[in-house]
Structure 1
Amino acid sequence: MTEPVLSLRDVRKSYGRHEALKGVSLELGRGEIVGLLGPNGAGKSTLFQIASGLFAPDGGEVRLFGMDYRHEASQILSRLGVVFQSRSLDLDMTVKANLRFHGNLFGLSGKALDARIAEAAALFEVTDLLDKPVRTLSGGNQRRIEIVRALINAPDLLLMDEPSVGLDPTTRKLLVKHVQQVRDQRQTSILWATHLVEEVEHADRIALIVGGGIIRTGTPAELLAAAGADNLTDAYIALTGVKPGAPAMAEAG
């Protein structure tokens, strides 16, 4: 059996008395897109902080590419791309300068780095933005640049935490299209956390997370069948009891 790209087993994390994750288990295979779908405050960001190595879990096991952060962090991070919910581009640098700086962190330079930048920029249709200061770009284009940056090291796993926050519906659809192209062209595994059903309608599998726990995982068709619904929004409401976009308590951390 092929080793999962990402394996979470009974992962737990608390902040004081608040249990952000209550024994989460999830696996992600090579070239698979999995949508982590749940309301704000469900535990999605905490899960991403643990999967990306920022936080250590209080319990359970986290393995990426068959390795764990305690012993093989550098090997894991070299194969990982991350897009966090909070934006982190240097606004006063050009797009290309931001991308080159990120590439340098992975030991890339010269023609090899320029080729990586050109390839990723072409995939996300931002080649004409490379020489522009980030500050002059729209929010949607800044978000696309952040995903391009996460692809510079040609990651085997791309983690995206609410990447479309603040984007209009048209730009969100374009983002979904581009991310699917990344998987199709590179066989990159992708974990996409969101509270918007339409962003994960075409995922290979969807994991529903509510209150710090994953309550059900399946293909979109399996979730529709389980809920007896004819669209994914109705299935989401029926299976979770949460309306898409409904406010929830802020997630600690």
Structure 2
Amino acid sequence: MALSVEKVSHAYGARQALQDVSFTIAPGSFAVLLGLNGAGKSTLFSLITHLYATRSGRVRIFGHDIGRTPSEALRLLGVVFQSRTLDLDLTVLQNLVYHAALHGIGRRAARERAQQVLARVRLVDRAADKVRNLSGGQMRRVEIARSLLHGPRLLLLDEPTVGLDIKARADILAHVRELVAEDGVSVLWATHLIDEIAEEDQLVVLHQGRLLAHGPAMQVVAGTGAPDIGGAFARLAGIDKVPAFDGLA
């Protein structure tokens, strides 16, 4: 499996953020981690990326236990966090070369890889531009390019379209789906937006720290008897309807 999460729990003092969460992501698949704000998605990502130590349960990336062999596991992982982390006063290329150095990639190889990943996200022509001169969607594409520099096999994206307009959101989602279809990268895409889920996606539903469902999106919908994904989520979570976010239902 590309990702295996087994009975993972996590608490902040007395507050239980995750409770016995278990699911798997198959290699070369696009999986959506769906949950409202506060569901525990970012906490789960922090455990998968080893920002937090896993005290209860196990996380494995292509068979490597993140707690026992973190270097081997993280070598296969690329991450795009919700918060922007690019240096606005450096150029796109400088940001990528600096990040590559953190992975032990030499300067010449870093520049070559930077050109390759920028081509992958269609931003080669902006390599010499300072990041502050890019649009929000372009910044996200640079962050995706940066996450690909070391050749990961699993890509995690935590609410990557937050704050973007509808077109930019669609472009980012299309770019990541292309990575799955053309390069065989496995993806776990965290979101609270129903319209970012396709019928063929794998779906992991998280609510108040608990896993409510896991499987092909249409199978999850069928299991609830709801007419669509939004209705299925509402039934699983025990709420009247899915709240509107960013102007979308």
TM-score by length of 1: 0.91
Pairing partner for 2:122 from 125, 131, 137: 125
Q: What amino acid maps onto 2:140 in structure 1?
A: R
CA change 1:128–1:203 in 2 (3 A) is: farther
Say whether 1:159 aligns with 2:173: no
Alpha-carbon distance in structure 1 between the residues aligned to 2:54 and 2:38? 17
CA change 1:107–1:202 in 2 (3 A) is: farther
Q: Secondary structure at the match of 2:232?
A: helix
Q: Which residue of 2 aligns with 1:205?
A: 202
Say whether 1:78 aligns with 2:75: yes
The range that moved more, 50-59 or 108-117, is 108-117
Instruction: After TM superposition, give the deviation of residue 18 of structure 1 in Å.
Output: 0.5
Residue by residue, what CA displacement relative to the aligned partner does 1:60-82 show, whole Å, maximum 9, x if unpaired? Answer: 11111212233321222221101
Name the structure, 1 or 2, with higher relative contact order (CA <8 Å, separation 6+): 1
Alpha-carbon distance in structure 1 between the residues aligned to 2:164 and 2:199? 19
On the 8 A contact 2:77/2:153 being kept in 1, the answer is: yes
Alpha-carbon distance in structure 2 between the residues aligned to 1:122 and 1:237? 40
Aligned residues: 244
Pairing partner for 2:30 from 29, 33, 55: 33
Q: What amino acid maps onto 2:122 in structure 1?
A: E
Q: What amino acid maps onto 2:103 in structure 1?
A: F
On the 8 A contact 2:10/2:56 being kept in 1, the answer is: yes
Residue by residue, what CA displacement relative to the aligned partner does 1:164-186 show, whole Å, maximum 9, x if unpaired? Answer: 11011111111111001111122
Q: Which residue of 2 aligns with 1:148?
A: 145
Q: What amino acid maps onto 1:124 in structure 2?
A: V
Unaligned runs of 5+ in 2: none
Instruction: After TM superposition, give the deviation of residue 245 of structure 1 in Å.
Output: 4.5
The within-5 A match list for 1:49-60 is: 49-60=46-57
Alpha-carbon distance in structure 1 between the residues aligned to 2:234 and 2:35? 10
Say whether 1:136 aligns with 2:136: no
Q: What amino acid maps onto 1:9 in structure 2?
A: E
Q: Secondary structure at the match of 1:181?
A: helix
Q: Which residue of 1 aligns with 2:228?
A: 231
Alpha-carbon distance in structure 2 between the residues aligned to 1:75 and 1:136? 36
Residue by residue, what CA displacement relative to the aligned partner does 1:136-195 show, whole Å, maximum 9, x if unpaired? Answer: 111111111111110111101101110111011111111111001111122111111100
CA change 1:154–1:202 in 2 (3 A) is: farther
Alpha-carbon distance in structure 1 between the residues aligned to 2:228 and 2:124? 37
Instruction: After TM superposition, give the deviation of residue 111 of structure 1 in Å.
Output: 4.2
The within-5 A match list for 1:212-251 is: 212-242=209-239, 243-245=241-243
Say whether 1:15 aligns with 2:7: no
Q: Which runs of 4+ in 1 moved over 3 A?
A: 241-247
Alpha-carbon distance in structure 1 between the residues aligned to 2:3 and 2:143? 22
TM-score by length of 2: 0.92
Residue by residue, what CA displacement relative to the aligned partner does 1:47-98 show, whole Å, maximum 9, x if unpaired? Answer: 0000001001231111112122333212222211011111111111111000
On the 8 A contact 1:30/1:188 being kept in 2, the answer is: yes
CA change 1:192–1:26 in 2 (3 A) is: same
Q: What amino acid maps onto 1:11 in structure 2?
A: V
Q: Which residue of 2 aligns with 1:189?
A: 186
Alpha-carbon distance in structure 1 between the residues aligned to 2:28 and 2:48? 17
On the 8 A contact 2:224/2:232 being kept in 1, the answer is: yes
